[in-house]
Amino acid sequence: MAERVGASGSVTAVDRDTALLADLHGRPNVTVVRDDLTTMAFGRACFDLVHSRSVLMHVEDPDAVVARAVVALAPGGAVLFEEADGAPALRAAAGGGLPAPFVAVMVPLAARWTWARSLEGNLESLGLVDVHDDVREDVLRGATPGAAFWSRTIRTIRPLVTDRGRMEALGRRPVDDGAVDAMLGLLQDPAFEAPFAARHRVSARGAGASPPRPPGP
């Protein structure tokens, strides 16, 4: 984005943990903000584009964040929200034939990803125009970069999902340690593949004149 808008434009990057954004501090047209999307002040009519990817699906009240982000759009500005939907994994699990570790470990995660399905209608209700939901389904394959990402994620959340007390307090079943080990093995196996998630790429534009296009192709 910073390269796209050039020296005359600006980009604001927001995260609760900005440690991985350290290399952006050297860009003169980038401002890195450490803040929480659920509580921060966005401002009004100050951004030509608002974008998120696999973020809003994890916050407590994503609709409230979207509403405040829309207020922050300049006239004619655009939004692009890319968020996941676990429907493919649930459909595949209902049909049977999936490896048991995948059903035990990955399907419960995917089952929580439902919010993106309502995003298109939400943006229309907020008065945005040219609303479009481009939905693409992904397959999880072993021995790929995506599998490596999920291996790291599973190792990170393992203490939580295998803790009976914590999981029961959340109204969920704990995951067996053996199932976690088996799932990690599948993620290293190039022969493994299973339907997992759909990504909703929801774009829309605010009412009013569109902002000028940045330089470049």
Domain harbouring 74, CATH code: 3.40.50
Residue 81, pLDDT > 90, answer: yes
Range of the domain at 141: 36-205
Q: Has residue 19 been placed in a domain?
A: no
Q: Has residue 216 been placed in a domain?
A: no
- Token pair, residue 132, equals 């479009």
Q: Provide the CA 112 distance to its chain's centre, in angstroms.
A: 13
**Residue 119 · residue 63 · CB < 8 Å:** no
Quick one: average pLDDT of 5-17? 92
Residue 141, pLDDT > 70, answer: yes
Q: For 104, which DSSP code?
A: I
Residue 210, pLDDT > 90, answer: no
Tally Cβ neighbours within 10 Å of residue 140. Answer: 22
Q: Has residue 198 been placed in a domain?
A: yes
Pure H helices in the chain: 2-5, 62-71, 87-95, 100-101, 107-111, 119-125, 145-161, 164-169, 177-187
The percentage of residues in the chain with a pLDDT greater than 90, rounded to a whole number, is: 86
**Residue 86 · residue 197 · CB < 8 Å:** yes
Q: Has residue 60 been placed in a domain?
A: yes
Residue 44, pLDDT > 70, answer: yes
Q: Has residue 2 been placed in a domain?
A: no
Its sign, for the CA torsion 100, 101, 105, 107, is: negative
Residue 155, pLDDT > 80, answer: yes
pTM of the model: 0.86
**What whole-number distance in Å separates Cα of residue 111 and Cα of residue 185?**
22
Show the CA angle centred on residue 133, arms to residues 213 and 142, nearest 5°.
105
Residue 184, pLDDT > 70, answer: yes
| 100-138 pLDDT, tens digit each | 999 999 999 999 999 999 999 999 999 999 999 999 999
Q: Has residue 28 been placed in a domain?
A: no
Q: Has residue 93 been placed in a domain?
A: yes
Q: Has residue 213 been placed in a domain?
A: no
**What whole-number distance in Å separates Cα of residue 132 and Cα of residue 146?**
26
Mean pLDDT, the chain, integer = 93
pLDDT of residue 209: 63
Show the CA angle centred on residue 13, arms to residues 10 and 19, nearest 5°.
135
pLDDT of residue 17: 92
Q: For 73, which DSSP code?
A: E
Q: Which has the minimum average pLDDT: 37-46, 90-99, 202-211? A: 202-211
pLDDT of residue 207: 82
pLDDT of residue 66: 96
In total, how many domains does the chain have? Answer: 1
At 149, the pLDDT band (50, 70, 90 cuts) reads: very high
pLDDT of residue 170: 85
**Residue 82 · residue 132 · CB < 8 Å:** no
